[in-house]
Structure 1
Amino acid sequence: METTRTSTRPIGPVAGGWTRRDVEQDNGWIHTLSGEEVDALEQALRHALQTGKDRFDMSLEDFPLDASVRRRLVALIDETQGGFGFKLLRGFPVQRWDEDALRLLFWGIGLVLGVPRPQGKMSQFVSDVRDAGGTYRSNTGRGYNTRSGLDFHADGSDMVGLFCVRTAKSGGSSLVSSSIAAHNEMVRLRPDLAAELYAPLIFSRQGEQAPEEAPYYAAPVFGIRDGHFACRHIRNHIKGAQQSFPDVPRLSPQQIEALDLFDELLAREDLCYHMDLLPGDIQLLNNHIVLHSRTEYEDHPEPERKRHLFRLWLALPQAQPLPHGWLDAYKDVDAACVRGGFRGVGITPQIRAFEARIARAHGMKLRIYPEKEAA
């Protein structure tokens, strides 16, 4: 498998990026929900609950959010396509609703913003982020079902949303870092190593591939398309490929040094921002220009008090085009297309119809599955 750099473009800094100090001095990334917005969200939730519909039978009309509030949410997502690349919606009263209702609320917000994407082997579309006894540092490890501290990484979608229901006894801070700022610092310090990450590396699918997929794929960490920089970094999956597949090329000393330096820069105190999520917070991150992580946490002993967040992956109608080298990972890399996710083994005709319906509502093309299944 070819893993050498295929482009001779000069490696240089790209526009944008932010530092920790920038985020600390500008709290415009926090949107505190107004009483009007909470009322509108709760009214839409009540309607969705009354329909009794399965999530995959829903349309946007089943979560009838007030038009002005919907425009406000979409405008906030528009802002994540540049600038800091993230927003925090603060203040939804989670104590008023049970977990099933909160899950449906988050789903409804997702439908308003884009097309939800599957997140694993069982094709789950809303993941429960909580300690389920998983092992992060393993050939099939995923971080969301452990209490481990995580590497900086991007999730497999245009946007990742986290809805905080309960916090841990201690720890579990959300860490965010600008991949643009870390890239530019890497270019300044070691342009030769930055060039290594424009070449394809091998990523494991961590045992969660769909039946038609190989268990690993090649993709560069950095890419630029139509003037848009993008970063897709998942060190745990790169390590997983090295550990699981003797037939994939071994990382060179230069590639390892490049990955180590990039990880070091992402976590550097002047670049990394620490964010403590509160119950009722919804964090929305642009995966293409922001990488995220989490500190290890200690949970409460009582099951009903344990840390619990919902996670949603979205394909967005306004998201940027992606590097062509990401095609195997995302299945589509053009703008205004449904892309990303870990398809898994549980995609049903009902889900196919749901994705097509929501894609049409957002004016997005859906062409990510094999032609033999399109009939």
Structure 2
Amino acid sequence: MLESTREIDNLLKKHKNYREGCLNLIASENFASEKVRSYLSSEFGNRYGCYSTEDPKDREYTGNKYIHEFEMETQELVKDLFKAKYVDLRPIGGHMAGMGVVLGLLQPGDLVIEVSLKDWGHGLVGPMCEVRQFDETINVEYMEFDKNRAVDTEKLIKQVKERKPKLVIFGGSGTLFEEPVEELSPIAKELGTLIAYDASHVTGLIGAGVFQNPLEKGADIMFGSTHKSFPGPQGGFVVSNDKELIEKVGNTLSPSLVTSHHLNRLPALAASIIEIKKYGQEYGKQIIKNSRALAKALDKEGFQVFGKDRGYTDTHLILVGLGEFTDSAPAKYLEDFNILCSDDFSGSSPEIRVGTPEVTRHGMKEDQMKEIASFFKRALIDKEDKDTLKADIESFSRKYIGLEYSF
């Protein structure tokens, strides 16, 4: 049990030293600048800014004069970044934002089509339906993917025409390529189907202008988080150009899912948006260059890298099959070498998801991606001595503890 702040400080120092020696390739993590992180300690963290969706000025608590001003200014930044007319910043995470969209837009018995967990979906509606009350009121089916791990557009259009869902949710935690939002949009409008986009993983790439903006391609609503390819504080958001939809979602979010919406993240979010407006395009382009370079290098080293026929990836991540090299949990195995990534066993064989947002932010470029690929080979194919390889990875990682594309 912790008994002093000195013990807290010591644990934080240990964590910092440990992570500086790790090669962080977790696609859902990033490294916020010191300036952005400093705002998380603002006095906002002890305040309540609860408001009604229809009138944000009508705050439940008093003393919100400048909190209201700041929240509205931050909303304007988000609107401008994502080219949206309406925004709700009350979700404290991307998953909560998604739940607000699903529960706010559906009627009992409606059908949703989303990305399944086996295709690196975020596990939104499917896991929700493990709760009996949701299972009795929401129906869910899954879109199909092709051999390159891209949405099969032809099959999806056929599925939508036949099944007539109320909602289609694009996006997930393994998005390699742009989804066919634009292709589905006219058909969805004709059928009365709504299109939502889970941008949690590609938020930073959208904000940087290097990936499709779903709202401009025909999506009715978009939700996500701000701490993956987007190098901001943890948190969620919902944006739309349809006032009725955003109000339905907002009335669902509050007060049933969230009341006190963690105001201390708003100054950090505002700072990260200003940062990405200044440095984002250069950062986003380098992320994609690094992803493709790493994918090509891993392929050359003998790994099965998905999406090869389409250039491997257009985002911050790549997917790698490891069935030939391991039948155990590869992420835990690699962690022993100080390589951090994510794995998945829901398909026929183990896969890892490798992301480049943080290593790019620390200054790594294409040449370093080749070195990283060699570390994977040494660990998984050559089965090299753990202590030797771990020491090499630590030495390599500690060369890149600075920060680029930031204040």
Q: TM range, normalised to the smaller chain?
A: under 0.3
| Structure number with higher strand proportion | 1
Structure of higher CA gyration radius: 2
Higher RCO by CA contacts (8 Å cutoff, separation 6 or greater) = 1
Instruction: Compute the TM-score of the two structures, normalised by the length of structure 2.
Output: 0.26
